[in-house]
Chains A and B, each alone.
Chain A
């Protein structure tokens, strides 16, 4: 006997479907807007190509930096008990709630030439604001929380006794991490990295304040939209969406299904 449809389950499905449509609709609409000709034109547009290439490179740089600095932090947060652990965990999560233009302003004050840090870096020949490092800084600020929390959860899921066994079998702390913890957490860390990378690619608010030029893809799309209108912005937007979809697929393949687990 089939269960009778209750008003509750009908409402449940209806509301859920509305949101799915609301999310998928615009994206599908955008994909339909692009014609092979306009995509080809966008691809051969040297400015678009350069912006996408710059986006990929800076996002990769920000992700590598995020991994290099975030994995040790994630490991400490997952394994060590130290005073202020919760505060530090909170600080790392903070960028999630900071509006991105606000993050851009904060980074500008922190890393601008007028600031102690930015001035010092400039004297060492590293210009941040209005240069590529500014893009990476903006991306790192917004993507690091994703990398850290994914890695922290991946480490937390691994019983610390596995490392202890490895230590008694002759491994140093680093060797046990490299031979046991990292291979087991690798998938989760990688999924976090891909997510952070995608977050970096999609960043606009912080970057547009820190480094308008050279333009990353999101800034270029905004630039074209405000200067030349919608048709000029669509092909680049479609390209960026396709790039995001590919990354999204990779994340889906990497991350275990949270429901089935």
Chain B
């Protein structure tokens, strides 16, 4: 497990203050925050590269607050990978494997290479590798000494979206297979939704909010968190395909079922999924709306309205599902929105964000 207890770090003019976070053994924790919020500094403090100003760090039930990095048994993967340029792929992967520890170095290198699809590249120089390949080598190198704890610094930031999806899937599988307690920092909330058991949102060097990804997304505690992750409605449910898969895009029309609610969606995969509804994508009307676009129509009741100068946040209840819509103040006036009013909520199929 990873337990940060009131951690404070000061680097240059920058400070992390009172960071507390617990990732259970085998769990996957995420720290999200915009660039410059101190995410990398936090990882380096956990790895032992930056001394603490305050607090304690406990890894695997051992207080490592004052232990040097080589005694902490953590693996770290930096955003820019930082492979050793003077070593081959195999040399990089095997760097941290100690022969004297009784491990078979070659065997471990080959196991990891196979797991991450690097077998063909083992003798290669690292300079010619693609971003995705470098990422895998960095991951294999970090995992090779069986560290028990893995720290990932924006692992998907430097790869294209297709590679990112693939890597995310691999990482999740790897995490389950190796049972390794993982802490990842990211600025991408989608990473958190797909991967995380525990999420902490960092702002101004402090934890603005921590909890399960769903809870943080659904109930942002501060304006910063809400703005940063983009609050809205998140539904857990199942995707069922209703049309053939488009060969070109790999996408298909489907229905998303959640809480007795059915939404037409455009999906990439079937099965368990989250649907994210951005408040601005929910259109409200008092009558059945017209329009050619395939729209989902739901009947809902307004439960509460929060007005700001230009927009109004409208809280709705559709059966057992809570929805949040943001409309222009003028629209709210025209519709005469008030609590207990029955309205029709329209959402384009393409506006339902499945993750």
Contacts and interface: CB of A to CB of B under 8 A. Distances in A.
A98 interface: no
B145 A165 contact: no
Contacts of A180: 84, 86
Contact of A165 (B72, B78, B98): B78
B60 to A, nearest CB: 15
A173 B70 CA distance: 9
A183 B86 contact: yes
B69 A161 contact: no
B74 interface: yes
B68 interface: yes
B76 interface: yes
A39 interface: no
A162 B69 contact: no
A156 interface: no
B85 interface: yes
Interface in A163-206: 164-173, 179-180, 183-184
B82 A167 contact: no
Q: Which one of B82, B85, B141, B142 has the highest number of Cβ atoms from chain A below 10 Å of its Cβ?
A: B82
Interface string B28-46: 0000000000000000100
A93 B84 CA distance: 32
Contacts of B48: 167-168
A165 B76 contact: yes
B86 A184 contact: yes
A162 B141 contact: no
A159 interface: yes
Determine chain A's interface SS by DSSP, over half rule: helix
Majority secondary structure of chain B interface residues (helix, strand, loop or mixed): loop
A159 B82 contact: yes
Contact of B76 (A159, A168, A171, A183): A168
A171 B147 CA distance: 13
B96 interface: yes
B232 interface: no
B95 interface: yes
B68 A167 contact: yes
Contact of A170 (B78, B80, B96): B96
Contacts of B145: 169-170
Assign chain B's interface to a size class.
Answer: 20 to 34
A172 B98 CA distance: 13
A159 B80 CA distance: 11
Q: Which of B68, B72, B95 has the most CB of A within 10 A?
A: B95
Interface string B128-164: 0000000000000110110100000000000000000
Contacts of B84: 162, 165-166, 180
A48 B267 CA distance: 87
Contact of A161 (B78, B85, B142, B144): B78
Category for how many chain A residues contact B: 10 to 19
Interface string B46-79: 0111000000000000000000111010111010
A179 B84 CA distance: 10
Contact of B72 (A168, A172, A183): A168
B128 to A, nearest CB: 18
Contacts of B82: 159, 161-162, 165
A58 B72 CA distance: 46
Nearest to A179: B95
Contact of A168 (B47, B85, B86, B98): B47
A164 B76 contact: yes
Nearest to B69: A167
B69 A164 contact: yes
A168 B70 contact: yes
A164 B81 CA distance: 12
Nearest to A81: B12
A183 B72 CA distance: 25
Interface in A133-180: 159, 161-162, 164-173, 179-180
Contacts of A183: 86
Contacts of A184: 85-86
A159 B79 CA distance: 13
Contacts of B72: 168
B70 A164 contact: no
A154 to B, nearest CB: 13
Contacts of A159: 82
Nearest to B75: A168
B96 A164 contact: no
B69, B76, B98 interface centre (most CB from chain A within 10 Å): B69
Q: Which 8 A-B pairs have the closest CB atoms?
A: A169-B96, A167-B69, A161-B82, A168-B76, A164-B49, A183-B86, A170-B70, A170-B96
26 contacts: A159-B82, A161-B78, A161-B82, A162-B82, A164-B47, A165-B78, A165-B82, A166-B84, A167-B47, A167-B49, A167-B68, A167-B69, A167-B70, A168-B47, A168-B70, A168-B75, A168-B76, A168-B142, A168-B147, A169-B70, A169-B144, A169-B145, A170-B145, A171-B70, A173-B68, A184-B85
Interface of B: 44, 47-49, 68-70, 72, 74-76, 78, 80, 82, 84-86, 95-96, 98, 141-142, 144-145, 147
